[in-house]
Amino acid sequence: MKEKLIDLFEYTYHFNKEMIKVITENLDKVDEKTISLINHTLNAQQIWNSRILGEKTFDVWQINPFESLDSINNENFEKSIYIIKNLDLEAKRDYQNSKGIKFENSVFEMLFHVINHSTYHRGQINSLLKQCGVEPILTDYIFYKR
């Protein structure tokens, strides 16, 4: 199970990095929504990692300096891998969402959410890239494994 999660986070890291690259190369063409969504995608992974580890979280929709996105992606990846390798995936974590509502989920559920959430938003970003005249990138898992 842990090896499969690591593989999925490697996939997530890889295509987050590719998205950052495509957006960077086309900053003059992309709109604010695209910038907002790539930030949100990275922020969400940081937030879930921090909830699991009991650390300070980013704001959900904060806009980070564009030149810091690669390092945020790297740090997110390293922390997710640390969590997978060192924590009990079935352990429960109490947390509050951005509206202050309390929840409890397992570490595995939280990590799986990160992967699914990232995939969802990369799809949205691809749609926005196409609307701006930028060639979207293939981000399907199967393409990553080929």
pLDDT digit string (tens) for the chain, length 146 residues? 999 999 999 999 999 999 999 999 999 999 999 999 999 999 999 999 999 999 999 999 999 999 999 999 999 999 999 999 999 999 999 999 989 999 999 999 999 999 999 999 999 999 999 999 999 999 999 999 99
pLDDT at residue 40, rounded to an integer: 98
Closest Cα partner for 52 from 7, 107, 117?
107
How far is Cα 32 from Cα 110, in angstroms, rounded to an integer? 28
Helix (H, G, I), strand (E, B) or coil at 138: coil
pLDDT at residue 98, rounded to an integer: 87
Domain limits of the chain? 2-145
Helix (H, G, I), strand (E, B) or coil at 29: coil
What is the pTM for the complete model shown? 0.96
pLDDT at residue 15, rounded to an integer: 98
Q: For the chain, where are the E strands, in sequence order?
A: 92-96, 102-106
Helix (H, G, I), strand (E, B) or coil at 92: strand
Closest Cα partner for 96 from 50, 63, 36, 62?
50
Helix (H, G, I), strand (E, B) or coil at 20: helix
Measured between its terminal Cα atoms, the distance across the chain in Å is 21
Evaluate whether the domain defined by 2-145 bears CATH number 1.20.120.450.
yes
Phi–psi pair at 124, nearest 5 degrees: -60, -45
pLDDT at residue 112, rounded to an integer: 98
Phi–psi pair at 6, nearest 5 degrees: -60, -45
